Structure 1
Amino acid sequence: MSPVLPKKSMTEEDIKLQYITPAVTSKWSRGKITMETQITDGKINLRGNMVFREKPKRADYLLYLSANNPIAVIEAKDNNHTVSHGLQQAMEYARMLDLPFAFSSNGDGFAEHDFLTGTEREFGLDEFPTEAELTARFKQESVLSPEQEAAIDQPYYTSQNTYPPRYYQRIAINRTVDAIAQGQQRLLLVMATGTGKTYTAFQIVYRLLKSGMKRKVLYLADRNILVDQSIQQDFAPLEKVTHKINVAKDDPSTITSHQVYFSLYQQLVGDDDQEHFSELFSPDFFDLIIVDECHRGSAKEESRWRRILEYFSNATQIGMTATPKETKYISNLSYFGDPVYTYSLKEGIDDGFLAPFKVINIMTDIGDGWRPRKGQRDIYGNEIPDRIYTNSDYDYTIIIEDRIQQVAAEITSYLKSTDRMSKTIVFCANEDSAERMRVALVNLNSDMVKKNPDYVVRITGSDTYGKSKLKYFISTSSEGPVIATTSELLSTGADCKMVKLIALDKMIGSMTEFKQIIGRGTRLREKEGKTHFAVMDFRNVTRLFADPDWDGPLEIDPNFGTEKPHKPSRPEDGKPPVVDPPVSGPTPIVDRNGCKVTIVHKTVSIYDANGKLLRQESIVDYTKENVRGEYASLDNFIRQWSAQDKKTAIRDLLRERGIDLEAMKAEQNMADVDDFDFICHVAFDKKPLTRRERANNVKKRDFLSKYSGAAREVLEALLDKYMNTGIYEIEKTEVLKLDPFMKMGKPAKIASYFGGKEGYLKAVKELEDEIYAS
């Protein structure tokens, strides 16, 4: 039976159903075809103070060699387009998904782009290559070894509790397994924080063990929490064959019975510089070593990492990092080689797998410089050395108590205006300043600390109590701690899924450290309410977004290893000063009497995934600009507000511009102010009235006296409703179905008090006009 519609009248879905799908399924088994396959989650955008997702990218058809190896993508178009019209889009998806073939079709035939040969062709609808033909072309043109072919057929680990790899994880796994099958011994995987490096490592290990390519695996990290997280979470399916190395307890004669070993490198090379790894294992014991977060020193010639890796030099070694390091002194690129795959922070945010962020820059009046008065003394009675102190000095060479108080007050104010339970990390100059910040935040949040003494906790390397709370801080279900003050400990590794605010109150000169710190907030948890995060910067360190290295290319430094590190005697721009211990007395501390600090300027900046500044704005200024752009003058705004039958139209217009009036009012403690007054206040500098004040003015002007009996009772109830909930509620006729109106009768009965529905609506409009009468 021929289709009921002419081909040119068919939608894209009709073309797929009637022509493309039959052509493909006649040559391929249905089990190796997926349709409308979602590739990305859709980028999350921040506009004003609103958040929305773009549409995810979807492939019309994906064809598979095996469960973990898609081989081709097909993009469909309706018949009003040419056969090859969708080919460039198909090619974009193929490049993204690491596929060798891209096809497009409009229902008349197919166009093909072959990435292996660089050629294109068109052919008829009934000439689509069979599964066997396309597979044979792929294997012939790729020149696959038997080991590579075996690796392709080895499936991922799957279960009800394990999600299938995302497209970039699949590519990372496949490329790594393929490279190992080809005999490559040193590999580097670069994946942004929050994109699932450990899960990717687990799938690589699983496939290599199951295929028999590897038998004994060592997973190295430098923090206990990283090891424990890996064992308990991503590597849980292998729990029967895993072992966490304990040098003090392990018996060399029995330790060899496991398959996957986890260890801290500090365990294998002790503080006594003893090489415990050689006491437990022979040099050829491991055939695969994975180095987690390898940027933290694995490539330093003198490091403990390197000694372990060189001892087990016959093993295949995979370095995993979010931030590849390449300087004159450190290079994991020189050791591991160029990355087999890179998935950047930019790509993660663009794809909607990572959370976008806004930056709130806060300037104090002493940020650019404070100089003590002649002969001024600190709280110890010592004279303060006379020079100009800046952000590079505070908490490093001098402690300004009121500055710490103002930073803590800004953090507290932000949390009060958004969510007091937002997980927050405050990065401080050192452990001492982290403790001072903890005390300041405790006192400013005493109401929350009263309910939970661990609301604010210092989590630093030497703080045993704080470190014991780390697992609760990173938990998605635990209510405390909510605020963690730290200096270094939380900058890397810890999986802080729910962090919504990162406060920067330390100088950061290293791009690696900066990326790691920003990475603490990039994990998405939409079901728990986290769609983005904020960075609050008190030292102007977010200027590093403008650095070309923010998401720049990887380059091998030809001078690597030829020079010794040199410590500057004076602070470099953006780096904490290298300070000799004071000759006498402690670091100067200046109290509020000696230096009072005020916040002088705040801006909100939105960056794209490249770190490029999209805009810098105060939300208030942004609102003012948009309202004035729409209404030009106060008189014009008032005229348009009054003329609107439904005031919601103006609220909705502002929402389209990314302005959420309710959220803004809450931030400025003006929730009881009418939207009309709030707009006039923000955009035209008018003193706002509360809804209660406007309602009382209506009563004073005796507007209601023109009505009597039940009609007056209804209008009085509407005025009370306005006072409590705002103008939008009384505009809705549905309000008559709520208390106290239900007691007055059904909506039709209430309307009859005004001579019918038109009379009721006229009375409500008059009431609105009276509410907004000047």
Structure 2
Amino acid sequence: MMSKKDLSEQDIRTKYITPAIEKAGWDKMTQLGEDVALTDGKIFIRGKMFARGKLKRADYVLYYKPNIPVAIVEAKDNKHTVRQGIQQALGYRELLKDVPCVYSSNGDGFFEHDFTASNGKVEREIGLDEFPSPEELWKRYKKLKGIEEETETTVAEQDYFFDSSGKKPRYYQQIAINRIVESIGKGENRILLVLATGTGKTYVAFQTIYRLWKSGMKKRILFLADRNALINQTVTGDFKHFGEAMTVIRKKKINKSYEIYLSLYQGLTGYNEDKDAFREFSRDFFDLVVIDECHRGSASEDSAWREILEYFDSATHIGLTATPKETSQVSNIDYFGDPIYTYSLKQGIDDGFLAPYQVLRIGINVDLEGWRPEDGKTDKDGNLVDDREYNIRDYDRNLVIEERTETVAKKLTEYLRKNDRFAKAIIFCVDIDHAERMAEALRNHNQDLVTKNAKYVMQITGDNEEGKRELHPFQNEESRYPVLVTTSKMLTTGVDAPTCKLIVLDANIGSMTEFKQIIGRGTRLSPEFGKYFFTIIDFRNNASKFSDPAFDGPPIQDERFGEYDEIDVPEPDNTDQTDEETEEPNPEDFQDTDKDTGNETGGGEIGDPPPRKVYVNDVEVRVLNERVQYYGHDGKLTTQSLEDFTKQNVLKQFKSINDFLQKWQTSDKKKAIIEELEEQGVLLFELQKEVEKKTGKELDPFDLICHIAFEMPPLTRKERAENVKKRNYFAKYGDNARKVLENLLDKYADEGVENIESLQVLKLEPLNDFGTPREIFKYFGDKQAFLNAIKDLENEIYSIA
């Protein structure tokens, strides 16, 4: 009879753990989640290659209701102690945050860690028949979250909206929605939520509004945005499920019979107290106002748009943003309070929900060295050019060097020709004039494709109606055109472009808030269309902001900083940090923020007359240097070569060659070690190609690792196979068994160790000539004896190491 110690982890779950949980009253269909994927697995990139890391999957997540997780259970086989899975379960709890209890089990009982324990007994062992009921863990959840009895019904009973697509909130969205609903249940009226671009702020808003609306906690809701594109995306996207209960306020037409209202700020105010449309509603008409991209127009106390929020002061206000703004003049925290939850770009990339990036930094001579006109140099109008040194602050703002624009367009085209000419790209320019000239230059350098379709290159700026009509096709995953889009401010924020694979920076981005928003245009994944990562091509040293400690940090409220993340990072004198904040539109001067705003014409403060632009040509412009940086394992940009990166990560896992050899020799399957390294971003296939170019040898993963990490002389697979044959290793086997092993050794020499570890290889030629897998096992005695022979063969292959 098989011992409990001999059972697999899955058997332990099936025979002991699941029955014990069900016996405690947990419904298998609605409350007991098994093998719950919490993340998608981080994506690692090197050049054109990428690999997915291992996703985080909890053995069990228990839900009091479909929207409220209350426990995590990690299972182990019976060779482990009952407590050995608790650390892993606590790691999953770091993601899920608000779960009151976590457990581990080996089938003998449960080991409990209770975050609500008040008697000092946080951890304890309990029997299989002592697992807590749903009601007990719900009590602990309420205790952990401080939920009073009078609000628990509303908080718990209204589930999410589920449609036929089966889409449901990810773990961080679940946390965000639950925290908002629970906070409102406690009477809080100002709430700030920070979610990185591409992580589903609008979906979170929809599910939050749905639960509050359906439960009756909030009856009339206003969703505010400051760009038509944001409203249009919302109406046709997640909010479409509100159906006839929803309306969009357009051109100040007010119908008070709806329950869900969407509006531009500009649709409610004309900056004239007598004409402000929002005053047609009573001050208490709305009991919930959701402010999208709340870091922009409504953030400032003296903003005309803030008047709308102050008018509906009795309503609950929820601010949504990826980049909360904190300056001495503008503060999201002052208005909303500290964020109720933050899910950052780094977290999104680490979890595999957002696309990582690589950065190509290109240095141009006039940018790095500056440019001074020679004596008597005139502009295109024949006027003398002021004799001073010009630098990157000046270009395309008050001085246009035509050859510089041509060089950028040519370099970008060269990159596209080497990679993918139909990779959708946004090229961020200094202003509308610059975007127009850049579009012209790109058309000239891509004339072959422009001839086939004129929309290959489009200018999408606030003044260009034809270009604005192409915004939706550019965003549409199934629309091939437009491909290259030049813009200034219009596409910096809030515009979903899932297939955008290339962000080109040829503008001086002084604001960290704007920088984050621009990077966010590329972070959305689109696996079905082949987008797993994106590339940033930086012509103006904006990438130095990645090294700013505040790039992906929490909101900082500090009077010392003019902009929440403008920490003083030393930069070369010739790089640009614009003097003024160019990201923020001023609602007093602009009613339509679908138009590019800020420093559109290259001027100083908004409203100032623009400086005269000087246009020059016949200037020598050339690329001086290029370097590629990757999003590293620690979230920082790294310029490491693939070999250095591999060596560093292997040495993290194995301190010495002996550590590696021991792990390799004792591992049941070598493939597991290879996969483990790939999960750390070590792309062995890509590395193999690089090493083959240098050495002329096609190396096994084992020899790749030994050669790169431990500087061992490499042997090819064929050389290793020949060494095994020379040692007459097969003599101890019978004739048929020996022939099978010789063929497997040839398979190893041709295709690698992973192939001989799979039993599927026995069904392929020439192994299938020896019979079925079962018949082949008999040559060795039985299946286990065959597997032992494979293990011995692998040890023999690598024995000379």
Instruction: Tell me, yes or no, whether TM beats 0.5.
Output: yes
Hey, what does 1:58 align to over in structure 2?
57
* 1:128 partnered with 2:96: no
Deviation at 1:280, TM superposition (A): 2.2
Q: Tell me if the contact between 1:545 and 1:611 (Cα under 8 Å) persists in the aligned partners.
A: no
Separation in 2 of the partners of 1:169 and 1:36?
19
* Whole-angstrom CA distance in 2 between matches of 1:561 and 1:429: 22
The residue that corresponds to 1:290 in the other structure is 290
Q: Provide the residue aligned with 1:84 in structure 2.
A: 83
How far apart are residue 574 of structure 1 and its match? 3.0
Match of 1:260 in 2: 260
8 Å contact from structure 1 (residues 356, 532) kept in 2: yes
Name the residue aligned to 1:600: 624
Shift of 1:483: 0.7
Change beyond 3 A, Cα 1:312–1:584: closer
Measured after TM superposition, the shift of residue 554 of structure 1 is 2.3
Alignment of structure 1 residues 554-565 onto 2, 5 Å: 554-557=555-558
1:607 Cα deviation from its structure 2 partner: 2.3
Q: Which consecutive residues of structure 1, in runs of 5 or more, have no partner in the other structure?
A: 566-570, 627-651, 665-673, 681-730, 733-746, 748-774
Cα distance in 1 for residues equivalent to 2:271 and 2:538: 37
Name the CA shift for 1:53/1:474 in 2 (closer, same or farther; >3 Å). same
Are residues 145 and 238 of structure 1, via their aligned partners in 2, closer, same or farther at CA, if it must alter by over 3 Å?
A: same
Secondary structure, aligned partner of 1:360: strand
Per the alignment, in what secondary structure is the counterpart of residue 320 of structure 1? strand
The count of residues paired between Structure 1 and Structure 2 equals 635
Aligned to 1:49: 48
Instruction: Measure, in 1, the Cα distance between the counterparts of 2:497 and 2:123.
Output: 47
Equivalent positions of 1:293-692 (< 5 A) are: 293-368=293-368, 369-557=370-558, 574-576=576-578, 586-591=612-617, 593=618, 595-608=619-632, 611-613=635-637, 615-616=638-639, 657=683, 660=686
Deviation, 1:656, is 6.8
| Corresponding residue of 2:28 | 30
Question: 1:508, CA displacement in angstroms?
Answer: 0.9
Aligned match of 1:93: 92
Per the alignment, residue 186 of structure 1 pairs with: 190
Give deviations 1:307-363, integer Å, cap 9, x for gaps.
Answer: 000000000010000001111111111101111111111110010000000000001
Shift of 1:143: 4.5
CA deviation map 1:106-155 (0-9, x unaligned): 12211111112371111122221222332334345644332233221111
Q: How far off is 1:95 after superposition?
A: 2.9
Larger Rg: 1
Separation in 1, partners of 2:509, 2:635? 16
1:150-229 alignment runs, 5 A limit: 150-161=154-165, 163-229=167-233
Distance 1:40 1:405 in 2: 43
Aligned to 2:797: none
1:494-529 superposed Cα distances (whole Å, 9 cap, x missing partner): 111110000000111111001000000000000110
Amino acid of the structure 1 residue aligned with 2:13:
K
CA distance in 1, matches of 2:159, 2:372: 66
Q: How many Å separate the matches in 2 of 1:492 and 1:584?
A: 24
TM-score normalised to structure 1 length = 0.77
Alignment check: 8 A CA contact 1:277 1:308 kept:
no
Could you say if the C-alpha distance between residues 656 and 256 of structure 1 is closer, same or farther in structure 2, counting changes exceeding 3 Å?
A: closer
Query: Per the alignment, do residues 273 and 125 of structure 1 end up closer, same or farther by CA in structure 2, a change over 3 Å counting?
Result: same
**Alpha-carbon distance, 1:577 to partner:** 5.4
CA distance in 2, matches of 1:397, 1:434: 15
Q: Distance in 2 between matches of 1:561 and 1:47?
A: 37
Q: Secondary structure at the match of 1:71?
A: strand
Residue number among 10, 13, 32 corresponding to 1:13 in the alignment:
10
Task: Quote the Cα distance in structure 2 between the aligned partners of 1:178 and 1:584.
Answer: 50
Secondary structure at the counterpart of residue 639 of structure 2: strand
Maintained 8 Å contact 1:266/1:304: no
Aligned partners of 1:305, 1:533: CA distance in 2, in Å? 35
Worse-matched range after superposition: 447-456 or 142-151: 142-151
Aligned to 1:695: none
* Residue aligned with 2:491, SS: helix
C-alpha contact (below 8 Å) 2:428/2:435 kept by paired residues: yes
1:274 is displaced (CA, Å) by: 5.3
Give distance in 2, aligned partners of 1:440 and 1:140: 63
User: Does 157-166 or 423-432 show the bigger shift?
Assistant: 157-166
Quote the Cα distance in structure 1 between the aligned partners of 2:421 and 2:575.
35
CA gap 1:389/1:41 in 2 versus in 1, 3 angstroms: same
CA–CA separation in structure 1 for the residues paired with 2:103 and 2:475: 45
Q: Judge conservation of contact 2:77–2:107 (CA < 8 Å) in 1.
A: yes
SS in 2 for 1:550: coil
Instruction: Write the distance in 1 (CA, Å) between the matches of 2:56 and 2:609.
Output: 63
Aligned match of 1:68: 67
Q: Would you say the 8 A contact 1:218–1:263 is kept in 2? A: yes
Match of 1:641 in 2: none
Alpha-carbon distance, 1:378 to partner: 1.7
Q: Does structure 2 conserve the Cα–Cα contact (< 8 Å) formed by 1:604 and 1:618?
A: no
Aligned-partner Cα distance in 2 for 1:559–1:394: 30
Measure how far apart 1:272 and its partner are. Answer: 4.9
1:435-467 CA distance string (max 9 Å, x none): 010000011111111111111111111111111
Contact 2:475 2:499 in 1 (8 A): yes
Cα distance, 1:431 vs. partner? Answer: 0.7
For the Cα contact (< 8 Å) 1:73–1:103, is it kept in 2?
Answer: yes
Q: Per-residue deviation at 1:30? A: 1.6
Give the distance between the partners of 1:50 and 1:240, measured in 2 at CA: 47
Name the SS for the 2:498 alignment partner.
coil
Q: TM-score, normalised by structure 2?
A: 0.74
Q: Take 1:610 and 1:329, find their aligned partners in 2: how far apart are those partners? A: 33
- The 2-side partners of 1:619 and 1:461 are apart by 43
Aligned-residue offset at 1:12:
1.7
Q: 1:293 to 1:235 in 2, by over 3 A?
A: same
2:28 counterpart letter in structure 1:
R
Q: For 1:295 and 1:62, how far apart are their aligned partners in 2?
A: 35
Q: Is the 8 A contact 1:48 1:622 kept in 2?
A: no
